[in-house]
Amino acid sequence: MERVYFEMEFLENVVLNKSNNTEGFSNTLDFVSGSVFLGIVAREYERFSESFEIFHTPKVRFSQAVPYVEGKRALRVPFSFYHSKGDASKVFNAHLNPEKMQYGQVKQKREGYFVLQDELLCFFELGNEYHQKSAYDSQKRKSEDSKMFGYYSLERDSQWVFYVEIDGSIREKDKIIEALEGIKYLGRSKNAQYGKVKIKRIESAKGENVFRISQEDSKNGVVYLYADSEIALFENGESTLIPSIENLGLSSGKIKWEECQIRTRSFKPFNSKRRRWDHSRNVITQGSVIALENVSKSDLESLKNGIGGYLNEGYGKVLVNPIFLLRDIKSKTFEVKREQAAREVKTELIEFLLKARKQKEQEDEIGNQVSDFIESNKEKLKSISNSQWGNIRMILEFSKEEWQEKIKEYIYRDYKSKDKRIKKQYEDCERELLGKLEKENLEFWKLLTIQAPKAF
Query: pLDDT band for position 106 (50/70/90)?
Result: confident
Sequence-ordered strand ranges (E) for 138-260: 142-154, 159-166, 182-185, 196-202, 222-227, 233-235, 238-240, 254-255
Q: Is the residue at 160 inside a domain? A: yes
- pLDDT for the residue numbered 63: 93
Q: Which of 47-51, 105-109, 330-334, 399-403 has maximum average pLDDT? A: 47-51
CATH code, domain carrying 118: 3.30.70
- Check: CB of residue 40 under 8 Å from CB of residue 184: yes
- pLDDT for the residue numbered 215: 46
Q: Is the residue at 216 inside a domain? A: no
Instruction: Enter the pTM of the model.
Output: 0.70
**Residue 290 pLDDT more than 90?**
yes
As for how many domains the chain has, the answer is 2
pLDDT per residue as tens digits for the range 193-237: 888 999 999 887 655 544 444 444 566 778 999 999 999 999 988
Q: What is the C-alpha separation between 232 and 240, in angstroms, rounded?
A: 8
Same domain (yes/no): 352, 205: no
Helix 34-42 × helix 173-180 angle, to 10°: 110
- Of the three residues 162, 177, 209, the one that is the final residue of a domain is 209
- Of the three residues 209, 239, 264, the one that is the final residue of a domain is 209
- Of the three residues 209, 226, 261, the one that is the final residue of a domain is 209
Q: Is the residue at 133 inside a domain? A: yes
The residue segments making up the domain with residue 9 are: 1-76+112-209
Q: What is the C-alpha separation between 165 and 208, in angstroms, rounded?
A: 14
